[in-house]
Amino acid sequence: MNDASAAPGSFWDARGLASWLFTIDHKRIGLLYLWCVLGFFIVGVSLGLLVRLELIAPGRTIMGPQTYNAMFTLHGVIMIFLVVIPSIPASFGNIILPLHLGAEDVAFPRLNMFSWWLYAIGAVTALAALFTGDGPPDTGWTFYVPFSAVTTTNVSVAVAAVFVLGFSSILTGLNFIVTIHRLRAPGLTWTHLSLFAWALYATAWIQLLATPILGITGLLIIAERVLDMGVFDPARGGDPILYQHLFWIYSHPAVYIMILPAMGVISDIIPVFARKAIFGYKTIAFSSLAIAFAGSLVWAHHMFVSGMSDTAVMVFSLLTFVVAIPSAVKVFNWVSTLYKGSIHMEPPLVFALGFIFLFTMGGITGLVLGAAGADMHVHDTYFVVGHFHYVIFGGTGMGLFAALHYWLPKVHGRMYNKRVATWSAIILVVGMNGLYFPMYLLGLAGMPRRYYDYLPQYTALHEASTVGSWVVVAGLALMFVNLWRGMRSGPRVGPNPWGAATLEWTLPSPPPTHNFPVEPVVERGPYDFRGVRADD
Amino acid sequence: MTDAHRDYEGAKLGMWLFLFTEILLFGGLFVLFAVSMARHHDAFHMASQQLDPAMGAANTVVLITSSWLVAMAVAALKLGQDARARALTLGTIALAGVFLVIKYFEWSAKFRHGLYPGSAELAAHPPGEAAYFALYYAMTGLHGIHVLVGMGVLGFAWWLMRTGRCTQGDFVFLENAALYWHLVDLIWIYLFPLFYLVG
Ligand code: HEM
Ligand SMILES: [Cu+2]
């Protein structure tokens, strides 16, 4: 990557492929992640588009049923494990966290490089699962037994890939926890930590505590397939429901690995563009930990119809309601911060507002699903698909885009076209509603998810959704072209284009390799804007 | 672990967190064991009779001794007795090897009796016994892999000591390797009564 924007003395200076692949500079590792994540994101979006296109009309449109199953499985596996989970924590977490702490690097720079390598190996293995063996996996990203134990498609390789990716995620989380504990600059107390850092801290704990369970679950699937183990086979004393428990003990907390970092980004962006200290700093910081904790207790809300006892259903339903509270608290805090703030409507804020709107849409339907009675009706329908796309794409996706627009000037030292950026955000919000709102209606009307074909009465809503997917792609294309052009040839910016108060904005844009020439001494909070000036 | 700045506390904290994830990895299997045992109480009892507690006990002694050796190795290195530390580390690796040899004989005896996942013999037993043996191989197998990894890590520590990169002044790698080995030992100390003595 030759980058014209690099000012001399910046971390871009070293040249050549090896200087990137074997770098131990957290900023470069973060960018490696970012490029991979964005690359896989484009692949995942393309697969999603094909699935949507197939569904534009009943019956066969562009592919057969087996291809369709493989397509949505790949779409899910790529999006969840290769894109969304590493998205913000591994990319922007790596780039920004040490800067927010006033540190030279993360605690274990070599381990950090190793994590990226594991991610790359996992990604290559996942791709290998597509092109080797007897066809790409067709189980859905949840790999439910017994089907995953008996299908002849390449499930073992895909699961092995997930295992390696999980290991990478664990090591990143471990590195961040130690970094936050050990490498804060003098004066940077826990209550002076940025909310992004707080969010990463809570996320890191979930990565550390939940991912090993996914690891063992994956190993057991491989053991079922390769060694004919029978742990989940009732004929041999096993139980397939146990698989679902183990899977969701990881995968529900994993949705907070996906969303908490995005919430952290939003919490950092809102006060900067409202020119106001964030309302309820401690509640926001604490609610991240509360989400991490409570979110670990609600996994079985994915299994209301799997045949648990009624008591279990009621308990998990109640717990699910409890976990919604800290998320709602954050939304109220953001809105209160904006209230009577002096608002600067810059692109990062526009994306943040899009996040709040879309995430709220998804969160409220989460409550509908968490109510066991309602879930009986809409479980495994398009309602669920709508719900998680609003939270994952509308939430984490918009959070990632907000982060891109907020920090790109810092990383590249250049600015994109702000008007175009704002338009791309608006098109995205419109497109996502067009794409996913019809899914709520489809689900309520009884359209099951993961079906290749459907009854004619669902046609109109499916058509609307597919058209929505094209609007989304238009928004994405506009946004990426604009970012690309800004990063190559946009006007140069100084150290602090937004007038933000966290430590990264005291460094030149782009920052030098060793971050802070002298270790900073911190005397102010991250949202204390007194005396902070945006450069003109 | 890092070279940019030597943060002893940080390295130890990192290792403890990692050990925690290892415990959780086994935790999933322990949960499966608990649930299955509650469901098939009698079959588990019958199946566990077929293991050889003498071999399990021997292996317990081997691992506890090895844990003790590696603790002495750390102490020796801190006192600057490099040669002694290296010898004790090699002793630990050797005992790890003994553990695996005993395990090999144990497993192959079971295989000869047709007690392995998917065998016709097990299919003739009640389903709970099949579940028992599935978990037996899964858990002791995963533990065995950890023994192998531990041997690799200790071997690496030995090599670092030989080349003067793990010394009295900078012993954290050996210390962390020893912690890892203690964990491998500890997990076995849970597996042993669970599989060999519940009956
Ligand atoms: C915070 C971000 C969230 C993300 C990223 C997320 C993601 C997901 C995903 C991916 C699924 C589908 C799983 C599958 O493939 O089967 C799902 C289902 C579900 N979500 Fe969420 N979710 C989030 C928040 C919430 C909240 C706040 C609640 C409740 C208060 C909730 C309740 C549910 C329930 C009950 C289901 C299961 C629906 C069913 O299968 O019947 N989610 N979510
Ligand atoms: Cu969930």
Return the higher-pLDDT residue of A137 and B1. Answer: A137
Do the chains contact at A105 and B126, CB–CB below 8 Å? no
Is the pLDDT at B198 greater than 80? The verdict is no
Q: Say what the pLDDT of residue A536 is.
A: 67
Q: Output the six-digit token pair for B177.
A: 């390797």
What's the CA angle centered on A31, arms A28 and A37, to 5 degrees? 150
Query: Which residues, listed in sequence order, are joined to residue A492 by a DSSP beta bridge?
Result: A414
Q: Which range among A208-222, A247-261, A422-436 has the greatest average pLDDT?
A: A422-436
pLDDT band at residue B1, thresholds of 50, 70 and 90?
A: very low
Report which bound ligand comes closest to the CA of A258: 1
- Say if residues A245 and A303 touch (Cβ distance below 8 Å): yes
Q: Which two tokens stand for residue B76?
A: 């020796």
φ, ψ at A422 (rounded to 5°): -60, -45
Name the residue with tokens 């669902």. A458
Burial of A461 (0-12, 13-18, 19+ CB in 10 A): buried
- The whole-angstrom separation of Cα A263 and Cα A391 is 11
Q: Taking 50 as the threshold, does the pLDDT of residue A102 lie above it?
A: yes
Average pLDDT of the segment spanning A523-527: 90
Closest alpha carbon within chain B to A215: B25
Which of A174, A224, A225 best probes binding to B when mutated, by most B CB atoms within 10 angstroms?
A174
Do the beta carbons of residue A268 and residue A502 sit within 8 Å?
yes
Helix axes B172-192, B53-78, angle to 10 degrees: 160
Three-state SS sequence of A348-416: HHHHHHHHHHHHHHHHHHHHHHHCHHHHHHHCCEHHHHHHHHHHHHHHHHHHHHHHHHHHHHHHHCECC
pLDDT for position A228: 86
Q: Stretch A487-492: mean pLDDT, rounded?
A: 94
Ligand 1 and A306: CB distance under 6 A: no
Residue A417 has a CB neighbour count (10 Å cut-off) of 17
Residue B5 — very low, low, confident or very high, per pLDDT cuts 50/70/90?
Answer: low
Chain A residues lying within 8 Å of B19, measured CB to CB: none
How far apart are alpha carbons A215 and B23 in whole angstroms? 12
Q: Using CB atoms within 10 A of its CB, is residue B54 exposed (0-12), middle (13-18) or buried (19+)?
A: exposed
SS3 A122: helix
Residues B145/B151, Cβ–Cβ less than 8 Å:
no
**Whether the predicted pLDDT of A58 surpasses 70:** yes
- The pLDDT score that the predictor gives to residue A337 is 95
Residue B2 has pLDDT above 60, yes or no: no
In contact, A401 and A428? CB cutoff 8 Å: yes
Whether pLDDT at A141 is above 90: no
Check pocket membership of A370 for ligand 1, CB cut-off 6 A. Answer: yes
- Pick from A182, A219, A236: which is nearest to B134 by CB? A236
Q: What is the pLDDT of residue B199?
A: 60
Q: Which amino acid is at A30?
A: G
Q: What is the pLDDT of residues A18-54, one digit of tens each?
A: 999 999 999 999 999 999 999 999 999 999 999 999 9
Q: CA B186 to CA B63: how far, in whole Å?
A: 9
Ligand (nearest to CA of A316): 1
CA distances from B132 to A138, A234, A447, B37, B45 (A): 30, 13, 42, 8, 9
Closest C-alpha to A250, from B25, B33, B138:
B25
What integer pLDDT is reported at residue A441 of this predicted model? Answer: 97
Q: How far apart are CA A284 and CA A527, in angstroms?
A: 13
How far is it, in rounded angstroms, from Cα B120 to Cα B123?
Answer: 5
Please name which of A338, A189, A213 lies closest in space to residue A274, comparing C-alpha atoms: A338
Distance from CA of A202 to the nearest CA of B (A): 14
Q: Is the pLDDT of residue A57 over 90?
A: yes
pLDDT band at A308 (very low <50, low <70, confident <90, very high): confident
Coil vs helix vs strand at A25:
coil
Best-predicted range by mean pLDDT (A72-86, B64-78, B101-115): B64-78
The reply to whether ligand 1 has any atom less than 6 angstroms from the CB of A102 is: no
Q: Is B30 on the interface with A (CB under 8 A)?
A: no
Instruction: Tally Cβ neighbours within 10 Å of residue A518.
Output: 5
Which band of pLDDT confidence, cut at 50, 70 and 90, is reported for residue A139? confident
Nearest-by-Cβ selection for B117 from A170, A216, A230? A230
Tell me the chain B residues in contact with residue A174 when contact means C-beta distances shorter than 8 Å.
Answer: 14, 17-18, 21
Cis status, amide bond into A146, omega within 30 of 0: yes
- 3-state SS of A60-129 is CCCCCHHHHHHHHHHHHHHHHHHHHHHHHHHHHHHHHHHHHHCCCCCCCHHHHHHHHHHHHHHHHHHHHH
Taking the C-alpha atoms of residue B70 and residue B91, their distance in angstroms, rounded to an integer, is 8
Average pLDDT over residues A211-225: 92
Other beta carbons less than 10 A from residue B152's beta carbon? 13
The amino acid present at A145, given as its one-letter code, is V
Give per-residue pLDDT as tens, A147-180: 888 888 889 999 999 999 999 999 999 999 999 9
Q: Taking a C-beta distance cutoff of 8 angstroms, is the pair B69, B117 a contact?
A: no
In chain A, % of residues over pLDDT 70: 98
What mean pLDDT do residues A399-422 have?
A: 97
pLDDT band at A6 (very low <50, low <70, confident <90, very high): very low
Mean pLDDT (whole number) for A5-14: 73
Residues A45, A509: Cα–Cα separation, whole Å:
31
Is the Cβ of B36 closer than 8 Å to some Cβ of chain A? yes
Q: How far apart are CA A231 and CA A72, in angstroms?
A: 27
Q: Counting Cβ atoms within 10 Å, is residue A69 exposed (0-12), middle (13-18) or buried (19+)?
A: buried
Residues A101/A197, Cβ–Cβ less than 8 Å: yes
pLDDT over 90 for what percent of chain B? Answer: 81
Please list, in sequence order, all residues whose beta carbon lies within 8 angstroms of the beta carbon of residue A292, skipping any fewer than 6 positions away.
Answer: A202, A203, A205, A206, A253, A256, A260
